[in-house]
Structure formats: C-alpha cells, structure tokens
Amino acid sequence: MIDVVMPKMGESIVEGTLTRWLKKPGEKVERDEPLFEISTDKVDTEIPAPASGVLSEVLVQEGATVAVESIVARIGDQSGNGAAPVAAPAAAPAQREKGPEVSVPPSVGVGPSAAVPEVRTTPPQQPSAGAAGPYPAEPPPSRHAAPPPPQAVPQSDGAEETGPLSPLVRKMAREYNIDLAQVRGTGAGGRITKQDVEAYMSSQAARTYSTPTPAPQSAGPYPVEPAPSPAAPPPQPLPLAESARVRTEPMSNMRQKIAEHMVMSKRTSAHVTTVHRVDMTKIAKLRDKSKAEFQARNGFSLTFLPFVAAASAEALRAFPIFNASIDGKNIVYYRDINLGIAVALEGGLIVPVIRNADERNVAGLQRAIVDLATRARSRQLKPDEVQGGTFSITNFGSFGSIFATPVINQPQVAILGVGAVEKVPAVVDGDAIAIRSQAHLALTFDHRLIDGALADQFCQKVKSILENWSTSIL
C-alpha cells in the first residue's frame, strides 16, 4: 500500500487545496499519471501518482485544504490488495489516549455520548499544607461542568501555538505592526494564513470606522443627540431585484486568490501610473524582415514582448530601485533580475518568472515566454516558477488594448504594461507626417518608494532602447 501525500510546493507554502480528483477509487493508475489537482496561493497544478496500482482509498475530498505532507489517498497493487488502511482522522484521538489515566466520577456518564471535556485530563491539584479545615474539598465535575482549564487545551489564536508561519505572514505582521497572538488561525492545525491576517486587518478597520464620536455635554435639561460618526462604515451591497433572472456560482480557488492578492496590493502600495508613447518602427521593420527565418529556426513566432523585456532588464540595471521591495522601513535591492510575465488563463491570470532575464537575448527571452505560457495554460508550471519575481510585465496589447493601469504584483514596487503596437500618422523630422508603428507603455509604481520624476526617467530609458534598437535578433 502506497501513501499519496500533499506535496511540499516550496518553502513558503504550508498548505494546499485539493480541487479535483482525476481518478476515482477502484480505478487503475500509472506511475507519473496525473492523479489530482491542487491549488495554492502560488500556483494551480496537477500532481502525478507516485506509483502504479489501483486507487484504493481517497482520504481528502475535493475542495478541502490540508497541510503539506498530509496523506490524501492510498494506492494498492494491481489486484487492489494491501494492508487495511487506517483513516487519517483517527490519529488525533489516538494521541489523546496516550495521556495519564484518569478516574471518572460516578456523576459523569460514560458511553458513546460522553463528551471529551467531561473527563479531567490533568491530575487534580494536591491540597496545600493548610488546606485541611472546615471547608469541604472541591466536588467532582458534573455532567454540565465547565471544560478543564485552558492550559490543557491548545489554543488556536496565538502565534506560538499555530505551528510554522509563512514568510508572507511574518512580513505582513511586521509591516502593519500586528500582534499575531490576536489573530485567529483557520489553517491546518490552527495555523495563521495570509487570509487570516487580512481578515483581522479588515475587522480592525471596520471597528475604527464604526467607533462613534463622544457626544458633547449639554448644559440644558435635555440630552444632546450624539454627533454622527465622521467616517461612515463601508456601504453594503444592494439586494438583487426580485424579478432579476440570475445564476449564482462559487468563485474558483484561483479567482479567490487573485481577488485577495489584488485587494492586498491596492491596500499596501500607493499606486501611480505614468504612460509614455514609444516609436516601435525600427523593431517592427526588423521583426518583419526576420520573422520567417526566426519561425523556421525556433519553431515559434517572434512577438514584440521579448524586445520590451530586454529593454526593461537593461533599464533595471540602470535604475536598481525598480528591482527592489519594501521591508518595513528598509529597501531590499535584488541582485538578480527576475522578470514576471503575466499570462492570461481561462478564468484567471498567473505570472511565471524568467530568472536572470538580463542574461538572455531576444531569442532566449521569446523562447522562455513561449515555454512558460504554454505550460501555464496546461497546468504544468512548478511552484518555483511563479516565485521570486522582482519586476513584472503585462502585455494587454495582445488583446487590442491601447493602454491600461496595471496593479503592482506584491512585493514588487513596479509593473510595466505594454499596449498594442499600431500604425498611426505621426509628426517626424519637424513638420513632416509619416506612418509610424507606435505603442504606449504604462508604468505603475509604488509612490511610497518611487517618485514620478524617477519613474519617467526609467520609462525614457526603456523608450530610448526600443526606439534605437540595433542589436541582431538571430
């Protein structure tokens, strides 16, 4: 019998959601054949079977979130034979039974309906030397007695009792000065997750908004009505019209993660966007001249995106503050330039990372973009391939958009959006009118760290590289 476990998908990932089983109990599976799908706060991916055999037992149902390295299923041999499996939930009661033996008072009912708190789990305190007196000893607990003291029950809302915390949770606690002992953990084993910290921050903000202003003391015989609160609580959504024909369905796990990440980014960074128009005519002509040979040599087409990626990597070397993060009151500069490239999926978005992008030429960048995008759409990305980005690029121009205001991919401090390359009439050489291939670059930056003048200098650097492109692409 082979145990199938929730894999460890990176150092910062401590749990995952099992979204779909690809095999049913009793079906044959082959080694490395996709067995189930999981979703984490980093990536959605398929998990292969660790061995060939028959899926004899499923211990975790679809939609459940479990800690990494937890057993989720078992695989038997081809005949389905194997040792009788032991259900995972039975492990916890077994550990509790290893405690000291206790005596049960006659007043406590023993049977299937007896609750655990009714049994004393700690040895009773011995009376002190002067305890013998006219006062009777403490009576034994009754059926309706209160549960034992808190020290015998592990707490789930303290930071120390919740198990290992992810680096993201620790960073959020440090940045927002949050006492994790006040945060209730909902993860596996009471672990505090990112969503728990965000929920705690939202509840604190709502409590601040709803605190009424003290009413002034009245000098007359009648009390003065309290003054309205200066900040009203957030508006509640309006109810749907009774006659509306609607269809309601739950958000996918990926959609929920995207929503949480976007709201967290807006709440964290001071977003400002600057837009620059770039003449892409030289690159367009070079691309048209070489695209047939490039396609024949590499097996994929040449787009404008790798040119922008190469120019961005060079500009990041000149302006390292854009290749950085904020850690409390410190600035963390990254030596490696790891470009995150946004990839649109069916019903979602993911940002795989090209590591050491400044060490690749245009062909190498295009190859990496095609590879990551293809594997992202087929759910073949590894967790490490969507972590460690230091600067992101999103190509909304591939869908015809002229320009947009992208949201920063935390914990980065900037993201560059690339608009569609269009042929437009433009003024050149003084007063002459000519047809030029132009695009708009939209740089969203964190105003906590980067000022507008510096952001414009960065864009001008990217623009200058693109407009004066002379490097061979083959």
Q: Are 135 and 169 in contact (CB under 8 A)?
A: no
Largest CA distance in the chain: 110
Task: Give, for 204, the enclosing helix (H) or strand (E).
Answer: helix 194-210
> In sequence order, which residues have a C-beta less than 8 Å from that of residue 444 and are 6 or more positions away?
271, 272, 273, 405, 406, 407, 408, 414, 415, 417
Residue by residue, pLDDT tens for the chain (474 residues) are: 889 998 876 555 678 888 889 999 999 999 888 899 887 766 778 888 888 999 999 999 988 888 888 999 999 886 655 444 444 444 444 444 444 444 444 433 333 433 444 444 444 444 444 444 444 444 454 444 445 544 443 444 344 445 556 666 777 787 777 888 888 887 766 778 777 887 888 777 655 544 444 544 545 455 555 555 555 566 666 665 665 678 888 888 888 888 999 999 999 999 999 999 999 999 999 999 998 999 999 899 999 999 999 999 999 999 999 999 999 999 999 999 999 999 998 888 899 999 999 999 999 999 999 999 999 988 888 888 988 999 999 999 999 999 899 999 999 999 999 999 999 999 988 889 999 999 999 999 999 999 999 999 999 999 999 999 987 776
Strands 391-394 and 414-418, bridge-based pairing: parallel
Task: Reduce the DSSP state of residue 439 to 3 states and report it.
Answer: strand
Q: Please pick, among 261, 384, 447, 456, the residue that the annotation labels catalytic.
A: 447
Q: Please pick, among 32, 288, 327, 451, the residue that the annotation labels catalytic.
A: 451
Q: Verify whether residue 451 is a known catalytic residue.
A: yes
Q: Verify whether residue 271 is a known catalytic residue.
A: no
* DSSP letter assigned to residue 346: T
- Sketch out the chain's domains with CATH numbers: 2-80 (2.40.50.100), 160-206 (4.10.320.10), 271-467 (3.30.559.10)
How far is the CA of 89 from the CAs of 103, 186, 248, 445, in angstroms?
26, 18, 33, 48
